[in-house]
Amino acid sequence: MRLPTLRQLQYLTAVIEEKHFGRAAEKCHVTQSTLSAGIQDLEDLLEVGLLERTNRKVLTTPIGEEVAERARQILSLSDDLVDLAQAEKNPLAGRIRIGVIPTISPFLLPRVLPRIRKQLPQLELLLIEDQSERLLVQVENGDIDVAILAFPFNTRNLNYRVIAEEPFWVALPKDHALCGNEYIQPHQLPINELLLLAEGHCMREHAISACQLPASAQRRSVQATSLYTLIEMVASGLGITLIPHMAINSDMVRHADICLRPLKRDSLAKREIGLVWRPSFRRTSTLEQLSSSFTAAMEESL
> Once rounded to an integer, what is the mean pLDDT over residues 252-269?
82
Same domain, 190 and 245: yes
Same domain, 184 and 47: no
Model confidence, pTM = 0.72
pLDDT recorded at residue 37? 93
Count of all residues that appear for the chain in the document: 302
State which of 87-96, 151-160, 218-227 shows the largest mean pLDDT.
151-160
Domain containing 71 equals 6-84
Q: Which residue has the higher pLDDT, 221 or 159?
A: 159
Name the pLDDT band for 40 (thresholds 50, 70, 90).
very high
Alpha-carbon torsion, ordered 139, 143, 147, 153, to 10 deg: -40
Given 34, 51, 84, the domain boundary residue is: 84
Q: Has residue 206 been placed in a domain?
A: yes
Given 68, 84, 100, the domain boundary residue is: 84
What letter does residue 191 receive in the DSSP assignment? G
Comparing CA positions, the residue from 193, 236, 187 lying closest to residue 213 is: 187
> Once rounded to an integer, what is the mean pLDDT over residues 108-115?
91
pLDDT recorded at residue 39? 93
Whether the CB-CB separation of 172 and 257 falls below 8 Å is answered with: no
* DSSP structure string for 235-286: HTTS-BEEEEGGGTTSHHHHTSSEEEEEBPTTSS-EEEEEEEE-TT---HHH
Same domain, 60 and 104: no
Same domain, 235 and 103: yes
Does residue 152 have a cis bond before it (omega within 30 degrees)?
Answer: yes
Given 46, 63, 84, the domain boundary residue is: 84
Same domain, 62 and 118: no
Q: Has residue 1 been placed in a domain?
A: no
Q: How many CB atoms lie within 10 A of CB 30?
A: 18
> Whole-angstrom Cα distance, residue 225 to residue 201?
8
> Once rounded to an integer, what is the mean pLDDT over residues 63-77?
88
* Cα–Cα distance list, 65 to 54, 61, 62, 75, 156 (Å): 17, 6, 5, 15, 21
Name the pLDDT band for 55 (thresholds 50, 70, 90).
low
Q: Quick: pLDDT tens for 180-239.
A: 999 898 888 888 888 888 766 787 787 777 666 666 555 554 667 788 989 999 999 999
Q: What is the domain count for the chain?
A: 2
Name the pLDDT band for 145 (thresholds 50, 70, 90).
very high
What CATH number should be reported for the domain holding residue 59?
1.10.10.10
Q: Has residue 252 been placed in a domain?
A: yes
3-class DSSP state of 150: strand
3-class DSSP state of 161: strand
